[in-house]
Structure 1
Amino acid sequence: MSPEHNQADVQFVKMMVPHHQQALRMAEIVLAKPDLNPQVRQMTEKIQREQGPEIEKMQSWLAAWNAGPAMSLEQAQGMQGLLSPDDLAQLERADGATASTLLLQQMIVHHQGAVSMAQPEIQNGTNPQATELAQSIVQSQQQQIQQMQTMLDRL
């Protein structure tokens, strides 16, 4: 881990941690539903596998940089792509078929927010690992947006 960092790196990481945490919460909600669409289940499990380790990595960077903790989900409310508490409650109440559609719709918006949040890091960050993660987020989440849009069109 390179100790070199600037304010863009810190801001990106402090905002992306709660953003990822909410994606994991969304995944947890839908994966508990027995009648979830199998393709949606597979995509959701992939998101979990990717974003859980990224959260741990980003939190370790904040510690190494003595930058303080990431934002909480409450502090992050209103951030690009974050769901409101009402949106999450709607996802919790939905049955599997409805939750499949709802998750895809919500996760597309969520991913679009993450892609937008990663752009300033790519342009202004100085930490090589953080800018590499931002580039990876843009690439993987744009690909997942396309896959989710295709799934949504077929549901």
Structure 2
Amino acid sequence: MRASGLLALVAAVAAALIGTTALRGGPGRDVSAAQPVAASAGPAAAQPVVRPKPPNAADVVFAQMMVPHHQQAVRMSRLLLAKDGVHDRARAIAEYIARDQAREASDMRAWLTAWGKPLAPGPGPAHGAHGSRWSRDLAAMPGMLTPAQLRRLDGAVGAPATELFLRQMIEHHLGALDMARQVVAEGDNVYTRKIAKHILAEQAGENAAMARLIDEL
């Protein structure tokens, strides 16, 4: 065979191999997983920007109410942490609550500012997305301690202080769980729904841990 004929044959075989590899989508890749290639060599089409839904009344009131609710949990935790003779596991729980809920309260205050909404709720009830009423009275929020209950926690010492904190915080968490479930059902905003789902998971777990610790005291 002439040299020119041999070169032509080699070129044809190489072209066939390249075509087979391209069809398979590369080494080790199934042809069924291959994606179609656009015929145009122009710039890729811009992807649509998905923006979160603006907050509705339930989202706004949830943030306005949950900020002071979290702030009270932080205060309760710091009251316990300032005491001597506190159970080590109760101290660890209080440290986590103080840190986690202070951060979440700061986040929600930032959202309200970005939304152009007041940090504190106005007078009167608010109506959620499906007609439910959200109380704007801070004292009437689920799980909130009264001033007398806070004074009792402040004055408690030693083991009684540990148990009192745990029982009060369980009730406080139950209130937050109720509020979180409501905004998951009625809220529109991705940020409030996300933090509410975090509260549902985190505080339910903390309540289980605190209940176990009470049984061991």
TM over 0.5: yes
Show the 5 A alignment for 1:76-91.
76-91=138-153
- 2: CA distance, partners of 1:32 / 1:2: 42
The CA deviation at 1:35 is 1.1
- Give the letter for the 1:113 counterpart: G
Q: For 1:63, which of 104, 113, 135 is the aligned residue? A: 113
Q: Work out whether 1:6 is the aligned partner of 2:56.
A: yes
Structure 2 gap ranges (5+): 1-50, 122-136
- Does the 8 Å contact 1:13/1:70 carry over to 2? no
For residue 67 of structure 2, what is the aligned residue in structure 1?
17
4+ long deviations beyond 2 Å: none
- Give the letter for the 2:170 counterpart: I
Q: For 1:131, which of 190, 193, 204 is the aligned residue? A: 193
Q: Work out whether 1:93 is the aligned partner of 2:143.
A: no
- Does the 8 Å contact 2:183/2:196 carry over to 1? yes
- 2: CA distance, partners of 1:136 / 1:27: 19
- Does the 8 Å contact 2:112/2:118 carry over to 1? yes
- 2: CA distance, partners of 1:14 / 1:96: 35
The CA deviation at 1:128 is 0.3
- 2: CA distance, partners of 1:3 / 1:52: 26
The CA deviation at 1:3 is 6.6
Cα offsets for 1:17-54 (capped at 9, x unmatched): 01000000101111000111111000000111210110
- Does the 8 Å contact 2:53/2:190 carry over to 1? no
- Give the letter for the 1:137 counterpart: I
- Of structures 1 and 2, the one scoring higher in RCO (CA 8 A, sep 6+) is 1
Q: Residue 35 of structure 1: SS of its match in structure 2?
A: coil
Root mean square deviation, CA, Å: 1.5
- Does the 8 Å contact 2:153/2:165 carry over to 1? yes
- 1: CA distance, partners of 2:120 / 2:53: 17
Q: Residue 142 of structure 2: SS of its match in structure 1?
A: coil
Q: Work out whether 1:115 is the aligned partner of 2:165.
A: no
The CA deviation at 1:2 is 4.4
Give the structure-2-normalised TM-score.
0.68
Q: Residue 116 of structure 2: SS of its match in structure 1?
A: coil
Give the structure-1-normalised TM-score.
0.94
- Give the letter for the 2:71 counterpart: Q
- Does the 8 Å contact 1:6/1:126 carry over to 2? yes
- Does the 8 Å contact 2:73/2:169 carry over to 1? yes
For residue 34 of structure 2, what is the aligned residue in structure 1?
none
For residue 48 of structure 1, what is the aligned residue in structure 2?
98
Q: Residue 145 of structure 1: SS of its match in structure 2?
A: helix
The CA deviation at 1:96 is 2.3
Structure with the higher fraction of residues in helix conformation: 1
Q: Work out whether 1:35 is the aligned partner of 2:85.
A: yes
Number of residue equivalences: 153
- 1: CA distance, partners of 2:83 / 2:72: 18
The CA deviation at 1:70 is 3.0
Larger Rg computed on CA atoms: 2
Q: Residue 150 of structure 1: SS of its match in structure 2?
A: helix
Structure 1 gap ranges (5+): none
- Give the letter for the 2:104 counterpart: E
